[in-house]
Each structure stands twice: as structure tokens, then as C-alpha cells.
Chain A
């Protein structure tokens, strides 16, 4: 990655212009200065750009270039978050939102996983579920909200069901195609060894579908947050969505930003969670280094 054409290495082994010389990476380039420069270039890895943006935002806000009504400075958002927490608003709201997400996810993932496995393993299961889910998949999550309200009222049930809908559909679709996508040659091989159907499922199909399952899980978590946001903006009297709606009503932009920040942190945590699962469960993959 780092520049290999720096002068010192070339100087040692003076080669003709049409030749290339490759030397071990050790030596000068790993000097203190080099490491420091490497560190300084991307000090926070992938989070460097977000942090830089935050700093620019802060500077602009302090300089008065953007009005606090539109975009309050990051520091003032943090202090608002702190204030809301101390006032006992943010904590309970967050807890309520998390509870909704957890129940919705539990329902949606259960249905999605069970239907996905049945549909993936059995032809009749495919015929039973696939058509319905394909149709459901074409309906935007937000578009069914009005119908849900008519059917289930404006209480918790609608919110939870919207989240589980958002989580269940991608889980089914990904798990189904993951099971169907397991290498046919491996299934054939397993049959020739005399392994029964139970062995075939537990040792070949389920572990083989695991990568697809994790992709589904990632989508499910993302869509469930989406469902959470949508559900909570309608007739909520508590929860993060309520916090945001309230902030909007009273033109408390910093409060809106607090809600957004919490949502994005939830999303980051969900993503990180799946990453850890992948690292543990997919060690066998050639792309993952053995450790």
C-alpha cells in the first residue's frame, strides 16, 4: 500500500531503468517516521472522514456560517443529549424504542428464518411462501403503514408488526436463496457418502447457507430500524421517534439531531454485531485469515 518507490531502497540496489527490484518491506520504510506518517494519514480508519466532517461542521457552526436552527453544532447536540438524559427523557425513550425493535425483530426473524428454511429445503415450501414474499417485497415498508394503522390501530402492535415486516422479508429472501445456492456438487458428494437427510441439513445445507443468512440478518437489522423510525413518527407518545417529532414541532433542531444520532449509533452497533458474528462463524472462508 505504502509507496514503494521511495528513494532509499532504490539507491541501495541500483538497477537499470528497465528492471524492477523487490526487497523485503522491512528496513527504512518501517522507521518511526514512516509509521507516524501512516498513522496520521488515516488515524481513525474508516471513521476518519465522519470525524473530519464533524469538525468542519463544528467550525462552521461556531463561525456562525450555519444557523443553529438548521444545524446546531455537534457539541451543542452532545450537550442537548446529555441534558435530555439527565432530565430522564432520553433514557426511557431509548428503552422503549429498543424494546419495540427487539420484539419486532424477534417476531420477524423467527418467521423469516422458519419460512426461509422450509422454503429453501422443500419444493412445496417454496411454492407456499415464495410468491407471497415476492409480492410483499415489492411493497415499500412505509406504504403499508396506513393499512397497518387501519387494521391494528395506533398502538404498540402496529409499530412492532411494521418492524417485524421489515425484518422478516429480507431474512426470508436471503435465507431461501442461500440454501438454494449451496454448491450442488457438495450436496451430491454428501449423498454419495451415505449421509442421511438430517446429516445433509445439519452439515451441508445449514452451514453452507450461513453466509447468506448473515447478509439477510444485516438487511433485517437495517430495515427494522427503518420500520422503527416510520412507526414511531406516527402517534407516538414516547420513544425516539416521539423525541424527534417533538423536536420538530418546537423547532428544537438539536433534539431532532439527538434522535438521528441515536438511530445511527443503533445502526452502527447492529452492523458491528453482524461483523463479529461473521468473524466467528465464517472462519472457514478462504477470504478470512486463519487466526
Chain B
């Protein structure tokens, strides 16, 4: 189902290349000649108000939707973490993780992935028995179990409470060390963007408006002058400069 275009010389250094991507819904142009490159091992956060086309772009990169113009090139091994956990309620946790796996060691790999999100002992639970944070960790494990080269995260922590969200940020940082993958995280949470990103892109008018490369240590991301400056710059980009 993925119609990855066969180009003679793909830019192998990049995890994602999107060239002049256009997507319309009726008369409304949601993506208007958008360019985006994500390097290998890079975590890019896409920031923008709701309705700006963040999720549309993510769906294009996921192959769930086709562009009306331009070109999208992504690795064929990719995984998505959706806003809602989207666990199959009729399958136990382990079977949810093995959904896309083949081969005799599928269960062992799924258990390993569950161990990474500290949920190994919940493998035989039904999804209804999980808390919101646990369910989202299972969906993270489901995404990572196939060792994808690109992980797309569509506001994955938006529905979680603040404390759980902070724990999830730690988990994402930890998992990045173990899995070499490009990541694109879509969010509208400025603090989440600062906490996780190598690079923050702010969308406006169907394109990447501004771009901030983040070179802060973990401590600096929590509290520093540079962080506050970045934060107000991002809020200004989002048109929220006066509100904080």
C-alpha cells in the first residue's frame, strides 16, 4: 500500500524528505508547498495551533493519506503513536503489541518492548484494565517493537495528566538512546516541545514558518535563561506573545 517513489538517488542521509507538498480539502489549502527534512536519529517537534495542518502532514508522512502535489519520501519501516492509544480492546496487551509482527519470536520481542516501557507484568491484562498512561505506553511499545526507522507521534500525550506526561517525556528520551530512529512529534504544547526536541518547527499558513534548533542540556531544558527566551520566541511565533 505504500507507494514509495523510486527515485534514482534518494538522499540517504535524511529520514524524511518532503518537497513542496500540497494538500487540499475542497477549496481549503491545508498544506501549501511545504518543505521538510528530518535527519536520521533526529527528533523534530512540529508545533502549531490546532487546525494548522500538523496532523495532515503527519498522516501524509505515515502514508495514511496522499499529497495533492509535491513529493514525500519516508522509510518504509515506520510506526505511529496516535493521540488516543488505539489499542484493540478485544486483545490482551501482549497481542496488541504483536499485531504487526511475524515470526516465531514475535512474543519474545513484544515482551522485550513491554519491558522497555516497564509494563512487562501487564502483558496479559485487557486494555480496559490499564490507566491512560499505561495504555499510551503500550501503544509506544507497539510502535517501537518493529524497530522502525521513523516514528511519528501525533499529540501522543495530549490526553494525559501533567504528571504522567512528564514521565512519558523521560521515557521518550530514554527510548531515543536505545532506538536509532527519526522522530516527528506533533504537539501544541510549547513546554513539551522544549523538553524533547532537537529542532522545533512552527507551522503557519500551511508551511514551516520558523525553525529553532535546540542545543540545550537536559538541565537547561528544565530551567534556564535560554529556555525562557526560546519559550517566548515560540509563543511569539504562535501569535501568543502577549498572553504569558
- When the two chains form their complex, are residues A193 and B100 in contact, meaning their CB atoms are under 8 A apart? yes
- When the two chains form their complex, are residues A190 and B89 in contact, meaning their CB atoms are under 8 A apart? no
Majority secondary structure, B binding face: loop
| A95: chain B residues within 8 A (beta carbon) | none
Partner of B128, one of A192, A203, A284: A284
- When the two chains form their complex, are residues A207 and B100 in contact, meaning their CB atoms are under 8 A apart? no
| B80: chain A residues within 8 A (beta carbon) | 189, 192
C-alpha spacing A204/B88, complex, angstroms:
7
Majority secondary structure, A binding face: helix
C-alpha spacing A207/B89, complex, angstroms:
9
Residue A52 interfacial (CB < 8 Å) = no
- When the two chains form their complex, are residues A193 and B90 in contact, meaning their CB atoms are under 8 A apart? no
Closest CB in chain B relative to A41 CB, distance in Å: 32
- Knowing A185-B84, A189-B80, A210-B90, the reply to whether A194 touches B146 (Cβ < 8 A) is yes
| B99: chain A residues within 8 A (beta carbon) | 190, 193, 195, 199, 203
Q: Which residues 129-151 of B have a CB within 8 angstroms of A?
A: 129, 142-143, 146
Residue A279 interfacial (CB < 8 Å) = no
C-alpha spacing A285/B128, complex, angstroms:
7
Q: Which residues 156-193 of A have a CB within 8 angstroms of B?
A: 185-186, 188-193
- Closest residue to A281 on the B side, CB-wise? B90
Closest CB in chain B relative to A77 CB, distance in Å: 45
- Closest residue to A206 on the B side, CB-wise? B90
- When the two chains form their complex, are residues A193 and B142 in contact, meaning their CB atoms are under 8 A apart? yes
Partner of A189, one of B1, B86, B127, B128: B86
Could you give 14 example pairs across A and B, Cβ below 8 Å? A186-B86, A190-B88, A190-B99, A193-B100, A193-B142, A203-B88, A203-B95, A204-B88, A207-B91, A210-B90, A284-B89, A284-B91, A285-B128, A290-B129
